């Protein structure tokens, strides 16, 4: 190929990720011209409502897919956590990059740890997953909606709107805000979102030349871990905004998948984990999902989605 056009959102984090892939491609294929194509998605336009209330799947991906179908872009770079677990047949994830820190970060200007938050402290997050897990441990907290890009969220914290906020550690690190991290939240307190910390490169399924070109970017351990996570999510609800956390970790050809389903108020919470071979990562994710659903998760999600 003589040139490759990379579709990307225009946020600082999205551009950081797109430029990372552009650099990797230009290094691997110096003869190929790389161009970024900026696309605005529905999730970028609606900033005054929680994602859970906007509705629909692919809030940050549909317009990028349309750009590929219309021949305006050859591939799209996404945060994997934004990619629906079921893609239209025209599209494929050609590569999943090596994962950055997949966990959530507590950021505060007043308190040195999450445990130090006083009773009734105000915490900012727009994620139902984070809200539910926080309230399961600290039902006294006031959890308030926080949307916008990383800089916008940090500014609201700095303006005194919150005692602390929860952000993905990966985004903070990638944008040079690692020093702002007060505490990386352990998985015992907060399981991350599906695919958190990983970058996905999506392209047209029938563009086999480009699919093959992109495979060098794929990290097998990250792919196995996130495949298990996405398989879990596909079984429990398919990609809408619900209070579900899941994390796959690969070590010595074994994969451990831990997951949680919680009510939005944190009063009902079901968690478990399974260990199996990397080759069976998808099956493991599905099995764990069905186990949690059978143990009460189905009733929790029915209440959330009703």
Catalytic residue among 44, 48, 74, 82: 82
Residue 151 annotated among the catalytic residues of the structure:
no
Query: DSSP letters of the chain?
Result: --EEEEEE-SSHHHHHHHHHHHHHHHHH-TTSEEEEEE---HHHH--SS-HHHH-SS-TTTHHHHHHHHTTS-SEEEEEGGGS-SS--TTEEEEEEPPP---SEEEE-SS-SSGGGPPTT-EEE---HHHHHHHHHH-TT-EEE---S-HHHHHHHHHTTS-SEEEEEHHHHHHTT-GGG--EEPPTTT----TTTT-EEEEEETT-HHHHHHHGGG--HHHHHHHHHHHHHHHHHTSSSS-SEEEEEEEETTEEEEEEEEE-TTSSSEEEEEEEEEGGGHHHHHHHHHHHHIIIIIHHHHHHHH-
Whether 99 and 198 have beta carbons less than 8 Å apart is answered as yes
Q: Which residues are catalytic?
A: 82
């Amino acid at each position: 190929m003589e040139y490759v056009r990379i579709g990307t959102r225009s946020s600082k984090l999205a551009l950081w990720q797109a430029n990372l892939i552009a650099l990797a491609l230009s290094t691997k294929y110096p003869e190929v011209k790389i161009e970024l194509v900026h696309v605005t998605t529905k999730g970028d336009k609606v900033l005054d409502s929680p994602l859970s209330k906007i509705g629909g799947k692919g809030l940050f991906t549909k317009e990028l897919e349309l750009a590929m179908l219309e021949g305006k872009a050859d591939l799209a770079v996404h945060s994997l956590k934004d990619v629906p677990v079921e893609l239209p047949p025209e599209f494929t994830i050609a590569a999943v990059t090596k994962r950055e820190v997949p966990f959530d970060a507590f950021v505060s200007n007043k308190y040195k740890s999450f445990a130090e938050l006083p009773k009734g402290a105000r915490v900012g997050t727009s994620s139902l997953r984070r809200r539910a897990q926080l309230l399961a441990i600290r039902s006294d907290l006031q959890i308030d909606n926080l949307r916008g890009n990383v800089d916008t969220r940090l500014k609201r914290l700095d303006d005194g709107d919150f005692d602390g906020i929860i952000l993905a550690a990966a985004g903070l690190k990638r944008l040079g805000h690692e020093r702002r991290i007060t505490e990386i939240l352990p998985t015992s307190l907060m399981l991350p979102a599906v695919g958190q910390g990983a970058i996905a490169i999506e392209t047209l399924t029938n563009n086999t030349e480009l699919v093959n070109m992109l495979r060098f970017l794929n990290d097998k351990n990250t792919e196995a871990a996130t495949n298990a996570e996405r398989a879990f999510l596909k079984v429990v609800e398919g990609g809408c905004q619900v209070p579900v956390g899941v994390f796959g970790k690969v070590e010595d050809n074994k994969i451990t998948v831990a997951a949680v389903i919680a009510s939005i108020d944190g009063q009902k919470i079901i968690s478990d984990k399974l260990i199996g071979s990397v080759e069976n990562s998808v099956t493991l994710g599905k099995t764990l999902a069905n186990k949690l659903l059978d143990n009460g998760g189905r009733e929790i999600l029915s209440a959330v989605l009703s």
